[in-house]
Amino acid sequence: MELSLDLTKRYTYADYYTWWDNTRRELVHGLIRLMSPAPAPQHQKILFRMSGVLYRFIVKNKGQCEVFQAPFDVRLPKNGEKEDDRIDTVVQPDLCIVCDLSKLDDRGCLGAPDFIAEVQSPSTAKYDLSEKFALYEASGVREYWVVFPAVGVQVFLLQPNGKYDEGTTYEAGKIPVHIFDGLKIDLEEIINY
C-alpha cells in the first residue's frame, strides 16, 4: 500500500511514525524528503566495511557505544523537545554511532549521534553537503564524515562554538576517528575495492 502524502505540507514525527508503507523518506523541518529505493552495491560495501571496523574497535575496547546503519531513525528535536508531535526532523544516516545509550529507544535514536557518515551518490551529494551538513551541525553531531566512493573522505569536526571546522579531506592513508582515542581507519580498506 502506498500512501498519498502532500510533499508541501509540514508533518511531525507523530505523523511519520504512522506511515507503514515501503517508501523510504526522511522528515526535515517538517517537510518530506524522499529517498532512493536502495543504494548501489558499492555504497553498501563501504558501509559494511566501515561498520565492521568501528564495531570491532568498540568491542575490543569494551566501549559503550553502538553502531547503526540505515534504515535507522534518528529524531533530531529542537530545544530538547521529546514529544512526537513536536519533533519535525527524522533522518536515516547511512551510518551513525551513539555513545549516550540513554538516547536509544525502541524506535531509534532521540537526539544527536556522536558520529555520522553519509556515503555519496550522484542523487545525494548536494543534500548531504548542504542540508544535512547544516542539520547535523545545528543538532550537535560531533563528527561528520562525507564519503566519496573510490575518491576519499571529508571529515568535519564540531568546534566549541557549535560550528563545524572547514573539514579535512583524506584521499589516502589512515583517517583518525576523533570520537575514539587510538582508532584510525585505513581509507584503502573501506573505499577501494
Domain boundary assignment for the chain? 40-191
The beta strand positions in the chain, using DSSP E, are 25-28, 31-34, 66-69, 74-75, 90-91, 95-98, 104-105, 108-110, 115-119, 143-148, 152-157, 168-170, 174-176, 184-186
HSE at residue 3, side-chain half, CA atoms within 13 A, is: 16
pLDDT recorded at residue 1: 54
Beta bridge partner(s), residue 144: 116, 156
- DSSP reduced 3-state for 40: coil
Selected residue with higher pLDDT from 114 and 4:
114
pTM value > 0.95 = no
| Cα 127 from Cα 33, distance rounded (Å) | 10
Percent of the chain with pLDDT over 90: 70
Q: Which three cell numbers stand for residue 80?
A: 530538547
Question: Of 48, 189, 39, which Cα lies nearest the Cα of 121?
Answer: 39
Average pLDDT, the chain: 91
pLDDT at 193 over 60: no
Helix, coil or strand: residue 136: helix
Highest mean pLDDT among 35-39, 135-139, 149-153: 135-139
Mean pLDDT of 139-165: 96
Q: What pLDDT is stored for residue 22 in this prediction?
A: 79
- The residue with greater pLDDT, 128 or 26, is 26
pLDDT in tens, 7-53: 889 999 999 988 888 788 889 999 998 887 677 888 899 999 999 99
Measured from the Cβ of residue 98, the count of other Cβ atoms closer than 10 Å reads 23
Residue 171 region, left (φ>0) first, then alpha (ψ -120 to 50), else beta?
A: alpha
CATH code for the part of the protein at 40-191: 3.90.1570.10
Residue 26 DSSP code:
E
Residue whose C-alpha cell is 533522518: 91
Nine-digit cell string for 51? 561498520
Residue at grid coordinates 568546534: 159
Confidence of residue 174 (pLDDT cuts 50, 70, 90): very high
Cα–Cα distance measured from residue 27 to residue 51, given in angstroms and rounded to the nearest whole number: 25
pLDDT of amino acid 2: 60
Report the candidate in 145, 75, 135 with the shortest Cα–Cα distance to residue 107.
75
Identify residue 78 by its one-letter amino acid code: K
Reference 17, options 69, 87, 114, 67; nearest CA is 87
Residue 57 has what pLDDT? Answer: 97
